[in-house]
Structure 1
Amino acid sequence: MQLHIDTPLVESSATACRAGQRVWLKMDALQPSGSFKLRGIGHACATRVAGGARRIVSSSGGNAGLAAAYAGRRLGVPVLVVVPETTSARARELLAREGAEVRVHGLSFQEANAHAQSLLDPSDAFIHPFDDPLLWEGHAGMIDEVAAAGLRPDAVVLAVGGGGLLSGVVAGLRRQGWNDVPVIAVETLGADAYAQSLAAGERIELPGIASIATSLGARMVSAHAFALAADHPITPVVVSDAEAVAACLRFMDDHRIVVEPACGAALALAYEAGSRLGGFDNVLAIVCGGATATVAQLQAWHAQLHKGPGI
Structure 2
Amino acid sequence: MPAPLHIPTPLLASRPLSLATGRTVWLKMEALQPSGSFKLRGIGLACQTYQARGARRFVASSGGNAGLAVACAGRQLGVPVTVVVPQTTTARALDLLRLEGAEVIVHGASWQEAHAHALSLLDPARDAMLHPFDDPLLWQGHASMVDEVAAAGLVPDAVVLAVGGGGLLSGVAEGMRRHGWDGVPILAVETAGAASFHAATLAGRPVPLDRIDSVATSLGARQVCEQAVQWWRERPVRSLRVSDASALRACEQFLADHRVLVEPACGAALAAVYDAEHAEALAGCQRVLVIVCGGATATLAQIRAWAAQ
Secondary structure in 1 aligned to 2:15? coil
Residue matched to 2:248: 245
Residue matched to 1:171: 174
The alpha-carbon deviation at position 200 of structure 1 amounts to 2.2
Determine which of 12, 15, 40 is the counterpart of 2:14: 12
Which whole-Å CA distance do the structure 2 matches of 1:73 and 1:18 have between them? 42
Which whole-Å CA distance do the structure 1 matches of 2:110 and 2:63 have between them? 11
Amino acid at match of 2:118: A
Amino acid at match of 2:251: C
Residue matched to 1:183: 186
Amino acid at match of 2:172: V
Determine which of 270, 276, 290 is the counterpart of 2:295: 290
Residue matched to 1:126: 129
Is 1:265 the counterpart of 2:268? The answer is yes
**Structure 1 residues 174-213: Cα deviation after superposition (integer angstroms, max 9, x where no partner):** 0101111100000001100111110222322101100010
Residue matched to 1:48: 50
| C-alpha RMSD over aligned residues | 0.9
Is 1:94 the counterpart of 2:96? The answer is yes
Secondary structure in 1 aligned to 2:50? helix
Secondary structure in 1 aligned to 2:17? coil
Contact 1:239 1:265 in 2 (8 A): yes
Secondary structure in 1 aligned to 2:190? strand
Equivalences for residues 7-156 of structure 1 within 5 A: 7-16=9-18, 17-19=20-22, 21-122=23-124, 123-156=126-159
**Structure 1 residues 254-309: Cα deviation after superposition (integer angstroms, max 9, x where no partner):** 000000000000000110115132420100000000000111111111211xxxxx
Contact 2:205 2:226 in 1 (8 A): no
Is 1:281 the counterpart of 2:283? The answer is no
Equivalences for residues 147-226 of structure 1 within 5 A: 147-226=150-229
Contact 1:45 1:71 in 2 (8 A): yes
Contact 1:18 1:278 in 2 (8 A): no
The alpha-carbon deviation at position 242 of structure 1 amounts to 0.2
The alpha-carbon deviation at position 229 of structure 1 amounts to 0.8
Contact 2:250 2:267 in 1 (8 A): yes
Which whole-Å CA distance do the structure 1 matches of 2:256 and 2:282 have between them? 22
**Bigger CA drift: 245-254 or 294-303?**
294-303
Which whole-Å CA distance do the structure 2 matches of 1:176 and 1:142 have between them? 12
Which whole-Å CA distance do the structure 2 matches of 1:74 and 1:201 have between them? 40
Q: How many residues align?
A: 303
**Structure 1 residues 39-65: Cα deviation after superposition (integer angstroms, max 9, x where no partner):** 000000011101110000000110000
Which whole-Å CA distance do the structure 1 matches of 2:56 and 2:276 have between them? 51
Contact 2:204 2:229 in 1 (8 A): no
Residue matched to 1:232: 235
More helix by share: 2
Secondary structure in 1 aligned to 2:83? strand
Which whole-Å CA distance do the structure 2 matches of 1:110 and 1:201 have between them? 23
Query: Identity percentage over the alignment?
Result: 64
Any stretches of 5+ residues in structure 2 without a counterpart? none
